[in-house]
Amino acid sequence: MYWTLELASKLEDAPWPATKDELIDYATRSGAPLEIIENLNEIEDDGEIYESIEDIWPDYPTSDDDFGFNPDEY
């Protein structure tokens, strides 16, 4: 399983909180790339409810600092 910013961004508008099956359904209905559905299928399903993309991909950048953007430079 691998995530990129582009792939993870496709789930930003998902109906959080959601189960694995709900996320797969959302990804399928929204026309997300096949890689997202494959990644979601690889998650071990123990009935957990995910609050956000950070629960699935803990390294997901959540602030401008994570992107290396410094507004003071501009």
pTM over 0.75, yes/no: yes
Gap between the Cα atoms of 34 and 4, Å rounded:
13
Averaged pLDDT of the chain: 86
- The residues that bridge with 19 in the sheet, in sequence order, are 49
Gap between the Cα atoms of 45 and 5, Å rounded:
23
Residue 23 or residue 66, greater confidence: 23
How confident is the model over 31-61, as pLDDT tens digits? Answer: 999 999 999 999 988 889 999 999 998 888 8
Strands (E), 2-72: 18-19, 49-50
Confidence of residue 69 (pLDDT cuts 50, 70, 90): low
Q: Give the N- to C-terminal CA distance of the chain in Å, as an integer.
A: 37
